[in-house]
Structure 1
Amino acid sequence: MNLEDTMRWLLPIILYVCIEVYAYQAIKTITRSVWVQIGYLLVSLLILGYAIYIFANYDRSVGPTKYTLRASGLLLLTIVPKFAMVLFLFGEDVVRICITGYNYLSTTFFEGKVSKYMPDRRKFISQLALGVAAIPFAGLLHGIFRGKYNFKVLHHVLYYDDLPSGFDGFRLAQISDIHSGSFDDASKIEYAVDLINEQEMDLLLFTGDIVNTVAEEMDDWIDTFKRVKTPKYGKYSVLGNHDYGEYVTWNSKEEKDANFEAIKDIHTKIDFNLLLNDSIFVEKGEERIAVIGVENWGHNFKKAGDLRKASEKIAKDDFKILLSHDPSHWEYEVKKHSDHYHLTLSGHTHGFQFGIEIPGVIRWSPVQYVYKQWAGMYNEMGRYLNVNRGFGFHAFPGRVGIWPEITIIELRKSTKPV
């Protein structure tokens, strides 16, 4: 292990230990029972040891597994609530230090003696910190066992003045980021497929990341996703950044290429038409709309997408629906494009699988500090982008406040320009 690898491991461990030592102060303040304190430390050490073991033995030729998901889940379940405790305890320590400093200065200058008095930690503050920590703990626990399969159907109605009249009321369904290698409950996935099939839709579109890493992840799910109904105007898909097999180490280029071809074949096996920098027309009588699919294009990820090539068959005045996995593509290339792409469908962010969404009140997730468009519908100059929150999950085996999504978008003809 080189110095860079050592530092990559050492810094997170030091941070974890600092949080642990601080949080332990609350346990010591709340209870004097030695057995409770020892039990608390043992559980913390076991979780840390398990995580270190799993990640130290991470096999880059295999990629993420259910074991790495479990380890990351346990770490977050441990760290996040304790971090909430640390914030409370740190606030109390600031007050304790201020009181100590005041006592020292006042006794030194006015009484001619040195005071070493520092207030003890207050049991009430430690109990309050523990109570606050219980909130993210319960949220993470719910997210791991229930939230990751808490599928929601979200509806949007979009108005366009230049929508062909025959497509007024046309309904699109979008799913994204299946990440089949993370699934651990077949009945929940069957339920989600049934939920998709219950929707009224004319066209079904999938915006990438069918696996985490390797094609074999879909072997047990082919029959399940083959059940997804094919609406009247078909099912179309594109690739996401995880579909290129670039997050593992391959024995040879040939092996990597074979995996990539197998991933592309998955789309055929589940009756999706994969668009690789290509386009098709959906026609109703003499009217048509274009569906354009680019390979992955991300500002900070693989740039295989070629919008010019994908749009070669498309006229400038055609109504255009673009499938592009990474929403940064819309921000950097699409939204101001002279050819006016009416609607772009993306995924990729998962909404970070963690956040707070109360319609009309608050919408927040840490991912918003990385992606300007990270979940839901966006509109600039009449050009829309929908960022689907994802069907599956990755890295963290759960979802907290950001639920898996099936999107239904209805296109409507407006009587005046938007």
Structure 2
Amino acid sequence: MVRWIIFILIYSLLSIYGFQAIKTVTKINWLHYLFIAVAIIIAGNFIYQFSIGSEGRVLNPAKSYAFGFLLAFMSLNLVIVPILLGEDIVRSALGLYDKLVTKESFYMPSRRKFISQVALGLAAIPFSSLLYGMYKGKYRFRVLDYTLHYEDLPEAFDGYRITQISDIHSGSFDNRKKIEYGINLINEQASDAIFFTGDMVNNKSSEMLPWADMFSQLKAKDGVYSVLGNHDYGDYIDWPSPDAKAQNLADLVDLQRTMGYDVLLNESRFIERDGQRIAIMGVENWGKGGFKKAGDLQKTKANVNPDDFKIVLSHDPSHWEAEILKDDYHYHLTLSGHTHGMQFGIEIPGWIKWSPVKWRYKQWAGIYEELGQYINVNRGFGYLGYPGRVGIWPEVTVITLKKGSNNA
């Protein structure tokens, strides 16, 4: 109860400044009332959604939207507050100066309409961006193409195309047509193999059931391979028993296999062409910072030769720097996801690539190279928590493997 009182007090204080800006800019009463009504509805829905019970710690769609609308509305007020607060300080100083000089009663000058207009104009940028991210950004799929060169790539695999998707988070989906578009986009790439790098669900295997028919349509000549992400283990929900939790994981693995996916649980497969082969190594989730460490790289590489060309599927990119790079084997390409690019950032190719998630993950989106080994961190197909994306769009990665030097 105390936390809600504190929330209401802070929320009300911030909203008062937003209301003051609206009131200064326009004298239309119904707009004033609309602002108040929206503020009440957003706060009321947020309090209601987060007061009722929940199966797990991961937000369901209703909670996600309650959080999303609150975030957008608060972003509006958080931009307005420092501007109008600064104006209040100046107004107070001017009023105090007049009182000391003229010896008259204290009088605070009125708000300047221009200042409020500037505040609202600036506040409209994050506000509209967050609303756009919820309305369209979360399904604004894009294909990112990369070409990677390797001197020791088997000749038979020169020009080999792979498609990577990650972080489906099916428990967040709410639009079948948009997901169907994304599925078709993946298949249109006509890659030789498709790799899914974990987090098929938010909490429970049952979340994937309404979408299994669509994702089972993913096809590639050499198959669809998948690994588990931290959310797939059911660690973010209170299960009635350990057996129920174990059954949930077993059901998810069985479902993926029914969908035609080859689920790799700390094991490897080989794709062969003309007597040559590449190793596909699927490691279970291994993450730093309190995330599950079920991955066993040594077990995964048990039947892989040191001179094999190796592609590792490992959900969390922190695994790459912590273990994969340091291993005595040379792993040519690691495919990861997990970060989502935080679903928020600014990316202008050739100019800027930024997201707050970079402060936690050194490798957070795109291709990185170290010691002659590459990792691609996919920005994710779905979304989680905030039900949208701003600047960091859902991604389908296509990587073409080429034999020889990049300078050739």
Give the shorter-chain TM-score range.
Answer: over 0.9
What corresponds to 1:389 in structure 2? 379
What corresponds to 1:236 in structure 2? 225
- Equivalent in 248, 262, 277 of residue 266 of structure 2: 277
8 A contact 2:169–2:199 mirrored in 1: yes
Aligned-partner residue type, residue 50 of structure 2: F
Q: Distance in 2 between matches of 1:264 and 1:313?
A: 22
Q: Distance in 1 between matches of 2:326 and 2:277?
A: 23
- Equivalent in 26, 39, 43 of residue 44 of structure 1: 39
- Equivalent in 140, 149, 170 of residue 139 of structure 2: 149
What corresponds to 2:23 in structure 1? 28
Q: Which moved more, 1:288-297 or 1:36-45?
A: 36-45
What corresponds to 2:76 in structure 1? 81
Aligned-partner residue type, residue 255 of structure 1: A
Q: Which moved more, 1:135-144 or 1:29-38?
A: 29-38
TM-score when normalising by structure 1: 0.90
Aligned-partner residue type, residue 392 of structure 2: I
What corresponds to 1:70 in structure 2? 65
Secondary structure of residue in 2 paired with 1:56: coil
Q: Distance in 1 between matches of 2:8 and 2:329?
A: 50
- Equivalent in 12, 16, 19 of residue 17 of structure 1: 12
Q: How does 1:303-322 map to 2 (within 5 A)?
A: 303-322=293-312
What corresponds to 2:329 in structure 1? 339
What corresponds to 2:347 in structure 1? 357
Aligned-partner residue type, residue 121 of structure 1: R
- Equivalent in 183, 194, 200 of residue 204 of structure 1: 194
Deviation, structure 1 residue 200: 2.6
8 A contact 2:229–2:316 mirrored in 1: yes
Q: Distance in 1 between matches of 2:58 and 2:343?
A: 20
Q: Distance in 1 between matches of 2:320 and 2:130?
A: 32
- Deviation track 1:352-405 (CA, whole Å, cap 9, x = no partner) reads 111111111111112112211111111122211111111111111111111111
Q: How does 1:395-410 map to 2 (within 5 A)?
A: 395-410=385-400
What corresponds to 2:240 in structure 1? 251
Deviation, structure 1 residue 266: 1.8
What corresponds to 2:164 in structure 1? 174
Deviation, structure 1 residue 115: 8.6
Q: Which moved more, 1:395-404 or 1:281-290?
A: 281-290
Flag structure 1 segments of 5+ consecutive residues without an equivalent. Answer: none
8 A contact 2:280–2:313 mirrored in 1: yes
8 A contact 2:57–2:236 mirrored in 1: no
Relative to structure 1, the CA distance from residue 417 to residue 312 in structure 2 (aligned partners, 3 Å threshold; closer, same or farther) is farther
8 A contact 1:160–1:417 mirrored in 2: no
Q: Distance in 2 between matches of 1:285 and 1:83?
A: 62
Q: Distance in 1 between matches of 2:330 and 2:384?
A: 33
Relative to structure 1, the CA distance from residue 374 to residue 63 in structure 2 (aligned partners, 3 Å threshold; closer, same or farther) is closer
Aligned-partner residue type, residue 265 of structure 2: L
- Equivalent in 129, 137, 140 of residue 139 of structure 1: 129
- Deviation track 1:12-31 (CA, whole Å, cap 9, x = no partner) reads 55543332233233123224
Relative to structure 1, the CA distance from residue 417 to residue 339 in structure 2 (aligned partners, 3 Å threshold; closer, same or farther) is farther
Secondary structure of residue in 1 paired with 2:143: strand
Relative to structure 1, the CA distance from residue 90 to residue 286 in structure 2 (aligned partners, 3 Å threshold; closer, same or farther) is farther
Whether 1:299 aligns to 2:299 is: no
What corresponds to 1:213 in structure 2? 203
Q: Distance in 2 between matches of 1:60 and 1:336?
A: 39
Relative to structure 1, the CA distance from residue 112 to residue 91 in structure 2 (aligned partners, 3 Å threshold; closer, same or farther) is closer
Deviation, structure 1 residue 265: 1.2
- What RMSD over aligned residues (CA atoms) do the two structures have, in Å? 2.4
Relative to structure 1, the CA distance from residue 286 to residue 114 in structure 2 (aligned partners, 3 Å threshold; closer, same or farther) is farther
Relative to structure 1, the CA distance from residue 10 to residue 335 in structure 2 (aligned partners, 3 Å threshold; closer, same or farther) is farther
8 A contact 1:161–1:417 mirrored in 2: no
Secondary structure of residue in 2 paired with 1:70: helix
What corresponds to 2:338 in structure 1? 348
Secondary structure of residue in 2 paired with 1:289: strand
Deviation, structure 1 residue 188: 1.1
Relative to structure 1, the CA distance from residue 15 to residue 313 in structure 2 (aligned partners, 3 Å threshold; closer, same or farther) is farther
Q: Distance in 2 between matches of 1:408 and 1:222?
A: 23
